[in-house]
A and B are shown apart, each in its own frame.
Chain A
Amino acid sequence: MATQMKVSRWSRFVASALLVVGGTLLASFGTAGASGARAKSSSVPLTVGVFSSFSGANASFGPESYDPCLAAAAIVNSDGGVLGHQLTCKAADSRGDPVDGVPEAHKLASTTSNLVGVIGPDGGTAPTVVPIFGAAHLPMFPTTGSSEFNRQTDKYFWRVLPPDVATATALAIAAHGAGITRVASVFGDAATNETNIVPFANAFKKLGGKIAISLVLPSGQPSYSTQAAQVLAAHPQAIVTEADPQTEATFMKDLQQLTHKLPLIYGTSGTQYAAWTSAVGLAIGAKLLASIHYTATPFSPFSGVAYKLFKSSLLKTHTSNPAQFETDIFAMAAFDTVNIMALAMIEAKSTNPVVYNPFIEKVTELNAKAVVVNTFAQGKAALATGKSIRYVGATGSVVFNKYHNSPGEFALVKYTTKGASGAVQVVKLISTAEISKLS
């Protein structure tokens, strides 16, 4: 009996030990499996997806994120990579349309080895694609400004640049601040432009301004002469606008043909990217455009260590025309995004998106004890010594609220024709408080 008891105890002990050891092993395998789900050995590269429009009317959106991704990955890799892994960027063409974007998103999420995060989706596909990346537990950094994400709750969603409603309000403040009281509101018919029209009108009217005429341009038409004549008949001091490059260029050319003096152009940040300035510049003349075009855009200092590194590494990428993105806020945001992901993975000591996702906020949040770092190398070095960090990159400070949106400051900027892609002059800063007051 005693022997039986002993055997029984031994059996239980052995069984318990086996359970504990097995459980521990399983747990460790589980952890290893999770953290290494996309990268089991250090030699395996990690992939950042760039999900955006590489074809169609907004074909320039893709390279605008992809080129900076390559630039950031090169810097990360030259500094030893992330936890021993090299970073790569993979382009996925959303075509700006859910019909093409949804299958492409599924393909990217399900067939890409070691995918650790996504830059995108853009405005055309975000409503349908955000849930796909969220369900795949992939941290995503959408480039959409759509208001429907202002209070979103997907924990994998991180919007680095402020929403359109803030842009539109900043535009109203900037125009009013420049003494403009009468504007023509002219926007393209893309769904993403809808989010600018009403917030701008509301904010501008609150400030005492008047919308002399409000027009929506159907995209891709051979002529907007009638709309141009209507705008001129309304005698605006400025045209407040955002439309796709081709539509805007045709409209501006038609406008130019009807008057000796074009009104000022106050555009959203959607009018500051290279394809827009290139198309409109070709249509009406780059010098003329530079003399009348102002843009309200999320503030970047366009100087400092982070910006200089962004610019120098961008120009080293072997892409068709990286210089066009030198002063592009969306390109800077994409560059910062890769650095934020890389630093979050190092702080989390894991490349598993599920594990490192909460650390995205940790490496950017306002924290008195954190060391402010401007580059991946600085951040990696600080983390290696056990310090907390706060990454402030090319786009300046990124502070996520509880909806994973970063409200941020704005600036009214003016482009000049100097340099390869034009230089930027910051005309006026617009604070978050000013915007909140009117929103």
Chain B
Amino acid sequence: MQIYYQAFGFGIVTAALLAVGAVGFTLQFAVSNVFNLAYGSVMVVAMYAAYVSLNHGAGLWGALAVGGITGSVLSYLINRLVYRHFVRKQANRFTIVLVTLAVALMMANLLEGIVGDNFFSYQLPTQIAYAFGPFRFTNYETIIVGVAVVAMVAVQALLRGTKLGSAMRATAENSDLAGNCGVPTDRMEDIAWLISGFLCGLAGVSLALTIGQFTPTTGNVFLVTIIAAAVVGGVGRPVGAILGALIVGVSEEIVAVPASEYQVVVGFALLILVLLLRPQGILGTAQVRSG
């Protein structure tokens, strides 16, 4: 039984990683209607930016900040320079997904051309996990969970408790109507991409910390799990993404106890189950978005 408690604790760390990534992903979709498959590539670029900053003495917190800012700026630029044109032309979702895939491939190949296919690692001291009740965490894992909690609370506070958040939610619900009511929708979209990009960068650096090494293709598999968490929770719903991340992250670790090889299956099985029973996701509404 002890191993199941431990697995639950490990699942919380995985969920924290997923939550930061999934909230960023879902925010982009909510505001811009872009199902951004280049999200994983932005995560990886952020990993490398943090790597450079660490090598220049930035420290862990500095590296997290650099990763977040890199993700933020890059996401903003990609949306401004590429995606927005297609959205404005009212390209269908399939076209936009293809465009995001093209951007992802271009970024991955460019990055591979620059840094090669060698492995990189943050040179930080090795840590032994400490016991916290039945759970075991390292300091880095505690930081990852802490950062995730703070980021999630901040995003919720922003969206629910500020005028800016209200304007962003209005833009997400109905961009045209919000525009007619005087909401500067373009600016709201830019801010949403800056915030979601920051979360994307944080998720990238956190992932690199967890797995111990990375290459230009590291984000690919993880992106699929992020998408699963976002869809399970309800695409376009930040709280749903957090819930989805918890369900997927913890389930994957718990299932690994009796059947390690099926760990990866759980997220996708949940995804299919939710799509069958509740296509809009657990917290989604039938009409996730209009306009």
Taking CB atoms, residues of chain A closer than 8 Å to B264 are 218, 220-221
Give the residue of A55, A218, A223 whose beta carbon is less than 8 angstroms from that of B261. A218
* One of A110-118, A124-132, A246-254 at the interface: A246-254
Contacting pair B212 A217 (CB below 8 A) = no
Contacting pair B210 A223 (CB below 8 A) = yes
Give the residue of B119, B120, B207, B217 whose beta carbon is less than 8 angstroms from that of A222. B207
How far, in Å, is A243 (CB) from chain B's closest CB? 12
Report A3-47 residues with CB < 8 Å from chain B CB.
none
* One of B124-132, B154-162, B273-281 at the interface: B124-132
Contacting pair B221 A221 (CB below 8 A) = yes
A258 in contact with B129 given A222-B14, A226-B6, A249-B211 (CB within 8 Å)? yes
CA distance A223 to B116 in the complex (A): 25
Q: Taking the complex as formed, is B138 at the interface, i.e. its CB lies under 8 A from any CB of chain A? A: yes
Q: Taking the complex as formed, is A416 at the interface, i.e. its CB lies under 8 A from any CB of chain B? A: no
* One of B96-104, B172-180, B189-197, B252-260 at the interface: B252-260
Report A354-413 residues with CB < 8 Å from chain B CB.
none
Contacting pair A283 B128 (CB below 8 A) = no
In the complex, the chain A residue whose C-beta lies closest to that of B261 is: A216
CA distance A217 to B260 in the complex (A): 6
Q: Taking the complex as formed, is A80 at the interface, i.e. its CB lies under 8 A from any CB of chain B? A: no
Contacting pair B212 A220 (CB below 8 A) = no
Q: Taking the complex as formed, is A314 at the interface, i.e. its CB lies under 8 A from any CB of chain B? A: no
Give the residue of B6, B138, B257, B260 whose beta carbon is less than 8 angstroms from that of A218. B260
CA distance A431 to B240 in the complex (A): 60
Taking CB atoms, residues of chain A closer than 8 Å to B254 are 226
Q: Taking the complex as formed, is B136 at the interface, i.e. its CB lies under 8 A from any CB of chain A? A: yes
CA distance A249 to B10 in the complex (A): 17
Report A228-262 residues with CB < 8 Å from chain B CB.
229-230, 233, 245-246, 249-250, 252-253, 256-260
Give the residue of B129, B136, B217, B222 whose beta carbon is less than 8 angstroms from that of A56. B217
Report A170-225 residues with CB < 8 Å from chain B CB.
189, 215-225
How far, in Å, is B28 (CB) from chain A's closest CB? 21
Q: Taking the complex as formed, is B283 at the interface, i.e. its CB lies under 8 A from any CB of chain A? A: no
CA distance A275 to B117 in the complex (A): 9
Q: Taking the complex as formed, is B34 at the interface, i.e. its CB lies under 8 A from any CB of chain A? A: no
Q: Taking the complex as formed, is A60 at the interface, i.e. its CB lies under 8 A from any CB of chain B? A: yes
How far, in Å, is B95 (CB) from chain A's closest CB? 24
Q: Taking the complex as formed, is B53 at the interface, i.e. its CB lies under 8 A from any CB of chain A? A: no
Contacting pair B13 A284 (CB below 8 A) = no
Taking CB atoms, residues of chain A closer than 8 Å to B218 are 246
Report B178-223 residues with CB < 8 Å from chain A CB.
207, 210-213, 215, 217-218, 220-222
In the complex, the chain A residue whose C-beta lies closest to that of B17 is: A222
How far, in Å, is B106 (CB) from chain A's closest CB? 15
How far, in Å, is B261 (CB) from chain A's closest CB? 4
CA distance A282 to B17 in the complex (A): 21
Q: Taking the complex as formed, is B3 at the interface, i.e. its CB lies under 8 A from any CB of chain A? A: yes
Contacting pair A282 B119 (CB below 8 A) = yes
How far, in Å, is B251 (CB) from chain A's closest CB? 12
CA distance A259 to B120 in the complex (A): 24
List the count of A-B residue pairs having beta carbons below 8 Å apart: 115
In the complex, the chain B residue whose C-beta lies closest to that of A220 is: B221
Contacting pair B14 A249 (CB below 8 A) = no
CA distance A238 to B121 in the complex (A): 26
Contacting pair A250 B6 (CB below 8 A) = no
Taking CB atoms, residues of chain A closer than 8 Å to B260 are 215-218, 226-227, 230
A249 in contact with B213 given A222-B14, A257-B129 (CB within 8 Å)? yes
Contacting pair A225 B212 (CB below 8 A) = no
Taking CB atoms, residues of chain A closer than 8 Å to B117 are 55, 59-60
A321 in contact with B217 given A227-B260, A257-B128 (CB within 8 Å)? no
Q: Taking the complex as formed, is B243 at the interface, i.e. its CB lies under 8 A from any CB of chain A? A: no
Contacting pair A253 B211 (CB below 8 A) = yes
Q: Mark B223-235, 1 if CB is under 8 A from A, else 0.
A: 0010000000000
Q: Mark B9-38, 1 if CB is under 8 A from A, else 0.
A: 010011001000000000000000000000
Taking CB atoms, residues of chain A closer than 8 Å to B213 are 246, 249-250, 279, 282-283
How far, in Å, is A119 (CB) from chain B's closest CB? 19
Q: A227-B260, A275-B119 are in contact. List 10 more A-B contacts (CB 8 A).
A: A59-B117, A60-B117, A221-B221, A223-B211, A226-B3, A227-B256, A253-B212, A278-B118, A278-B119, A284-B126
Question: Which 9 A-B pairs have CB atoms at the shortest separation, nearest pair first?
Answer: A220-B221, A283-B212, A253-B212, A282-B121, A225-B10, A216-B261, A218-B264, A226-B256, A250-B211
Interface residues of A (CB under 8 A from B): 55-57, 59-60, 189, 215-227, 229-230, 233, 245-246, 249-250, 252-253, 256-260, 275, 278-279, 282-285, 320-321
- Some 27 contacts from A to B, beta carbons below 8 A apart, are A55-B117, A215-B260, A218-B260, A221-B252, A223-B14, A223-B253, A224-B256, A226-B6, A226-B253, A226-B254, A226-B256, A226-B257, A226-B260, A226-B263, A229-B3, A229-B6, A229-B7, A246-B119, A249-B119, A253-B212, A257-B126, A257-B127, A258-B136, A259-B128, A282-B213, A283-B121, A283-B213
